[in-house]
Chain A
């Protein structure tokens, strides 16, 4: 029986507890939050053995094999380090750490201590994301990826998060180097990082505070971001984050030398984009039929999964946790490579370095970053 602990008992901890409890062969032996009441409320709502307000006490008394860290990002590195040093494997919620150097240090420590670490990029383990990965591995693209596009939007009209963030000048999200973006874009960047290799990266960033946010008096939080990434010798990627565009999409496109794939996370659809063209007018009639068939199949597939009780909103998280536990128990490969975790951290850090130093310049809402190189190796 794998013993699991959770540190940080806020909103996302609920999802972790719910998905862990859907798995066989594990139990939650302890939950911990610096605010003891928060730990108690999680303990009262789920079958959990004990609750704590001190991490060391939880590690000593509950002795978890795996610890999920679901605190705000500022605590990720120190807490994960503490857990690894106590002999636990660690699942860290996104963003992995605040700084890329911390990510490196943590992964180094885990390797030295023979512990395993993963990051909560659970969107990459949804049904469609897994299917996309399988198709890429089977060679559907016809070679290495040539270009990728990742859209990861966030609707700031959602009253809960936006109200808390915009009205509170001391909100913990504001204290992150990348502020709002730091807390949100990991999923979208990780999709790109997965299919990058180890070449140097050139990153150009454009970020600004949207006119809508400026109208609300917000001057600090950049909520529009466009990024161009070029990996030597020639692979490219675009990343878009927007709080204003509609629909507020979470999509990923990947193009190879032969074919492409289009993933829509919100609609759980994966569409194959055929590279070859039909002759003349046939190109205008046949492909739409093919797309109609693919969308119909996606719909029936989704209904089938729903009827089979396998279509939870957090299905990706369950799969990621299960794969991570398998990597611990059966020494299976890690669900997310350390290369990918590091690449995601470094790309994000470069983006934030480019858009935020210039924030202090008055009356400047449009910031275009210089080109820098980061090694994703």
Chain B
């Protein structure tokens, strides 16, 4: 049965974009487990049959899983998807795009289309937009201070040299713009580093492997990690909890590891490789040098490494999850030790099959 303290009832329709994605799958499962029966999944192509069968089994005989095939870049597709929807979980993300226009198009234009599609008729109770920690700026915060929901967003995301961060800042901005101009009821969720089975990428907060040897830049920094199941729990709650419209929620687990702890565990449990620790003083000045050279050479090298990026990813920072606990009633379901164990085990499995 659906929980009583929710903004929608169990028979109202929920739209989920990116439902077959890394986080999306867990959000769908979370909703089914909590008793929501009418889920509309906006997808590009049909998902794996076994996954759909599992969801039908999980939801029981009353569950109505509706697949809407379409492209978020198409306004008619979005209008079709938004019909009769009370709650939207917008999880589709333009990840992996290196070009700014592509990232922007796949994050901002798509989000605008979806909002327009959902606002075309009355009844939308909440639009949950999935953002990221990388939209924050902590440039003016002292070393070691807490990054929470009160931190400002990056005022010049175009200068960070990272198309994804730029697009996500602009995506959040357009959601807030629609809230102001069209009264969009929204919640922004900003997960930290989401890890778990199915995620192969190694967070850049630990370091970079671009130059032949892995440069370990994180050192004793805490990584704002959240296990995918825990992250999905928080996202589900952000859509259902009453009285949180217009709020921002950072999602991070209780027991974050330091970059060094994570790297050691990874090497011990997944694969061994050589890494070189670069102290913060040096990494900061290397970023400054790269930034200067990119400018001086008129872009002969792109400004991938720069001081804004250093502040965002490699400056010593602490994180807080007080707000999701207090306002959403979130608790960490999967302990970090268990989450890491499952994650590393899945990576080992993939390595075996590679």
Contact = CB atoms under 8 A, between A and B. Distances in A.
A8 B286 CA distance: 36
B183 interface: no
B298 A38 contact: no
A37 B100 CA distance: 13
B104 A14 contact: no
Contact of B300 (A11, A42, A306): A306
A170 interface: yes
B296 A309 contact: yes
B99 A14 contact: yes
B201 interface: no
A41 B171 CA distance: 12
Given A38-B109, A45-B158, A309-B298, A13 B101 contact: yes
A160 B97 CA distance: 7
B101 A14 contact: yes
Contact of B99 (A11, A22, A168, A312): A11
A309 B300 contact: yes
A312 B100 CA distance: 18
A167 B101 contact: no
Contacts of A38: 101, 104-105, 109
B98 interface: yes
A308 B219 CA distance: 36
A11 B112 CA distance: 19
B326 interface: no
A44 interface: yes
A357 B98 CA distance: 36
B185 to A, nearest CB: 22
Given A38-B105, A41-B101, A22 B45 contact: no
B44 interface: yes
Contacts of B148: none
Contacts of B304: none
B101 A11 contact: yes
B4 interface: no
Nearest to B297: A309
B300 A37 contact: no
B300 A44 contact: no
A159 B97 CA distance: 9
A84 to B, nearest CB: 26
Interface in B144-182: 158, 170, 174
Given A160-B96, A168-B44, A10 B101 contact: yes
Nearest to A164: B102
Contact of B298 (A13, A22, A45, A306): A22
B209 to A, nearest CB: 18
B212 interface: no
Contacts of B108: 37, 41
A237 interface: no
A338 interface: no
Contacts of B296: 309
A311 interface: yes
Interface string A1-38: 00000000111011000100010000000000001011
Contacts of B104: 37-38, 41
Given A14-B100, A42-B101, A170-B71, A37 B112 contact: yes
B142 interface: no
Contacts of B99: 11, 14, 160
B243 interface: no
Contacts of A37: 104, 108-109, 112, 174
B73 to A, nearest CB: 9
A11 B105 CA distance: 10
B300 A312 contact: yes
Nearest to A168: B71
A52 to B, nearest CB: 16
A38 to B, nearest CB: 7
Interface string B105-146: 100110010000000000000000000000000000000000
Interface string B295-307: 0111110000000
Contacts of B45: 167
Contacts of B44: 167-168
A374 to B, nearest CB: 36
Given A18-B299, A38-B109, A168-B44, 8 more contacts: A9-B101, A11-B101, A37-B108, A45-B158, A170-B71, A306-B300, A312-B297, A312-B298
27 contacts: A10-B105, A11-B99, A11-B101, A13-B101, A14-B99, A14-B100, A35-B105, A35-B109, A37-B104, A37-B174, A38-B101, A38-B109, A41-B100, A41-B104, A41-B108, A42-B101, A45-B100, A160-B97, A160-B98, A160-B102, A168-B44, A168-B71, A170-B71, A306-B300, A309-B297, A309-B298, A312-B299
